[in-house]
Amino acid sequence: MTLDATDRRILSVLQQQGRISNADLSERINLSASACHRRVQRLEEEGYIRDYVALLDARKIGCPTTVFVEITLSGQADEVLEAFEREVKKIPDVLECHLMAGSADYLLKVVAEDTEDFARIHRAKLARLPGVQGMQSSFALRTVFKTTALPV
């Protein structure tokens, strides 16, 4: 399935307002409510819309510190990569994990209460991940902007 301009408008609105009613969405994109509903269902079925979520305020939840951690593994064998990936998924403080090209094997986005909490996460969880040879951590001083919206 290819996306047309109407599909892209639907996706753009839903990325900003996931709880918008079908009636309001159809009005915003100039389409009948039934046609809009059918398109949204199709976008869901085809996997363009993966899920609907609530985005939480990290400060209010108690996790205002963001740390980007570069991980270097002891090897590149499939077993080493798979073991690392399987275990890192179990750490709730890790929001993202990316296999990288370049100097590090993985880049993690980790949230913590503060530097002491990150030190605990580092010692108790990250350093114990299978295959980890080295880690380089960078603390975000301030988030300039943050979005989950993809350019459609």
d(CA 17, CA 19): 5
Q: For residue 1, what pLDDT is reported?
A: 77
Q: What is the mean pLDDT of residues 108-135?
A: 98
d(CA 131, CA 74): 5
Q: 76 with 131, same domain?
A: yes
Domain that residue 94 falls in:
58-139
Q: 38 with 85, same domain?
A: no
pTM for the predicted model, two decimal places: 0.90
Please say whether the dihedral angle defined by the alpha carbons of residues 59, 12, 50 and 78, taken in this order, is positive or negative.
negative
- The mean predicted confidence, pLDDT, of the chain is 97
Q: 119 with 84, same domain?
A: yes
Q: 9 with 72, same domain?
A: no
Q: 16 with 41, same domain?
A: yes
Q: What is the mean pLDDT of residues 60-65?
A: 97
Split at pLDDT 50, 70, 90, the class of 16 is very high
Q: 12 with 74, same domain?
A: no
How many domains would you assign to the chain?
2
d(CA 121, CA 92): 10
- What is the tens place of the pLDDT at every residue in 40-50? 999 999 999 99
d(CA 101, CA 28): 41
Q: Domain with 11 in it: what CATH number?
A: 1.10.10.10
d(CA 58, CA 63): 5
Q: Domain with 109 in it: what CATH number?
A: 3.30.70.920
Domain presence at residue 144: no
Domain presence at residue 151: no
Split at pLDDT 50, 70, 90, the class of 64 is very high
Domain presence at residue 98: yes
